[in-house]
């Protein structure tokens, strides 16, 4: 298909497609004339993944490029590609190099070991957990990672179910898209449902 | 105590305390001379709550003022005050008045009725859930609120436990602080733990 048709098939404006081509996010089409190229279904799928990484994950172009390079690198396993995408999604960890943060990081590492969870030593979520501990302590609350047990149990059952229902018949592009959407959109779903459940239980208690 | 001592007791700089006094967030101290006033423990507690609303909840001064006015309004029940604080915490719902969003809102309302949850018709989390549905559908995924069941179950058990352990012996100020910290910091805790659990289950499946 020509670029105008690719635009129609993907819903992405021609000018944006040209920008992605220049930025190297979209591989060039097959050249058919000096000023013309032919695109195919792979381009449609790639544009779809770019849209998810940009609109749902709100990632900068640089991070999108890194994830796409990983998708295209046949030497990487699917698990490795998903790990790269997952790490790019954050959650953001405030930069703090102080002593309290270092102590909290060690406590979180020991806690995850006790849970028996196999997670990368560089997972940003380790820092996010440590930062929550520091924050609670700064407010004068006495907390240890064990106070997270109820959340860990809920997270474990949700994640087990999520991985169970992953459609593994998809190509790498589809699986990365699925992982990004699943992680971010369902995060918003859980957050909203927890707020509603809190209100419900508060209403019940107040009679 | 004098303003310098209030600053020391609360950890809030004198200039910031003066700003809160001018903005009406902090009630004036008892005047002891033309240029001097005496402050007490109630001021320390109020500064603590302002700090949580500003640093943890990242609320604008206007919203903080509304919550504090509710705390001080003896005509409001504690449940009502907590509801006002809770509503200010979001989650933010993108403004969308289109047809898909209206349909999704009706589906979410019916879903919450089926769950038997008692929640305000104006809870922002209703809109956040509806927006997640719209987002998933825009990506071509066929979803209904029933696909949220696993998350609803996890949210329900977490929220029941959270309300159970609320310290109800605190004054209103303390309870509002507790609710804000609990909602926001533990939201970050669950988000981080879910990401780690996903990585763990992905590692298990990839062997």
pLDDT in the model for residue B79: 83
Of the pLDDT bands very low, low, confident and very high (cuts 50, 70, 90), residue A35 is confident
Q: Is A47 on the interface with B (CB under 8 A)?
A: no
Residue B204 has pLDDT above 90, yes or no: no
Instruction: Chain B: give the shortest CA distance to residue A8, in Å.
Output: 16
> Which residues 6+ apart lie within 8 Å of B206 measured at CB?
A77, A78, A79
Considering only CB atoms, A201 lies closest to which of B159, B191, B193, namely: B159
Q: How far apart are CA A45 and CA A23, in angstroms?
A: 17
**Nearest chain A residue (CA) to B55:** A135
- Locus of tokens 């825009």: B138
pLDDT in the model for residue A202: 87
Residues of A in contact with B181 (CB under 8 A): 136, 139, 141
Dig out the tokens for A128 from the structure: 């996010």
Packed helices B41-51 and B172-206: angle between N→C axes, nearest 10 degrees: 30
Q: Is A3 on the interface with B (CB under 8 A)?
A: no
Query: How far apart, in Å, do the first and last CA atoms of chain B sit?
Result: 63
Optimal mutation site among B111, B198, B206, B207, interface A, most CBs of chain A within 10 A = B198
Q: How far apart are CA A82 and CA A179, in angstroms?
A: 7
pLDDT in the model for residue A169: 81
Of the pLDDT bands very low, low, confident and very high (cuts 50, 70, 90), residue A166 is confident
Give me chain A's average pLDDT, please. Answer: 91
Residues of A in contact with B163 (CB under 8 A): 198, 201-202, 205
**Coil vs helix vs strand at A68:** helix
A1: which DSSP letter?
-
Residues of B in contact with A107 (CB under 8 A): none
pLDDT in the model for residue B56: 87
Distances (CA, A) of B115 to B80, B109, B159: 23, 10, 14
Q: Is B32 on the interface with A (CB under 8 A)?
A: no
Count of beta carbons in the 10 Å neighbourhood of residue A165: 11
Instruction: Give residue-wise pLDDT tens across range A76-120.
Output: 988 888 888 888 887 777 777 789 999 999 999 999 999 999 998
Q: Is the pTM here over 0.90, yes or no?
A: no
Asked whether the ipTM of the predicted complex exceeds the cut of 0.90, the reply is no
Q: Is A125 on the interface with B (CB under 8 A)?
A: yes
Instruction: Give residue-wise pLDDT tens across range B31-89.
Output: 998 888 999 999 999 999 999 999 888 899 999 999 999 999 999 988 888 888 888 88
Provide long-range contacts, Cβ within 8 A and 24+ apart, for A6-14. A6/A39, A6/A43, A6/A44, A6/A47, A9/A44, A10/A43, A10/A44, A10/A47, A10/A48, A10/A51, A11/A51, A12/A47, A12/A50, A12/A51
**Coil vs helix vs strand at B59:** coil
pLDDT in the model for residue A191: 93
> Which residues 6+ apart lie within 8 Å of B111 measured at CB?
B129, B145, B146, B148
Instruction: Give residue-wise pLDDT tens across range B97-151.
Output: 789 999 999 999 999 999 999 998 988 899 999 999 999 998 888 999 999 999 9
pLDDT in the model for residue A56: 87
């Amino acid at each position: 298909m020509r670029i105008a048709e690719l635009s129609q098939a993907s819903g992405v404006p021609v000018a944006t497609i040209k920008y992605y081509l220049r930025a190297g996010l979209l591989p060039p089409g097959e050249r058919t004339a000096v000023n013309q190229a032919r695109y195919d279904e792979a381009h449609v799928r790639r544009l779809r993944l770019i849209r998810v990484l940009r609109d749902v994950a709100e990632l900068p172009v640089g991070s999108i490029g890194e994830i796409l390079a990983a998708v295209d690198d046949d030497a990487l396993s699917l698990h490795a590609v998903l790990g790269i995408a997952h790490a790019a999604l954050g959650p953001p960890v405030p930069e703090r190099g102080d002593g309290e943060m270092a102590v909290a990081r060690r406590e979180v590492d020991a806690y995850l070991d006790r849970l028996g969870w196999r997670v990368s030593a560089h997972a940003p979520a380790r820092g996010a957990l440590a930062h929550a501990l520091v924050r609670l302590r700064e407010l004068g609350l006495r907390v240890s990672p064990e106070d997270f047990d109820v959340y860990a149990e809920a997270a474990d059952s949700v994640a087990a179910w999520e991985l169970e229902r992953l459609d593994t018949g998809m190509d790498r592009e589809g699986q990365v898209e699925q992982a990004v959407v699943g992680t971010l959109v369902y995060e918003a779903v859980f957050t909203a449902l927890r707020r509603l459940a809190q209100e419900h239980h508060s209403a019940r208690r107040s009679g």
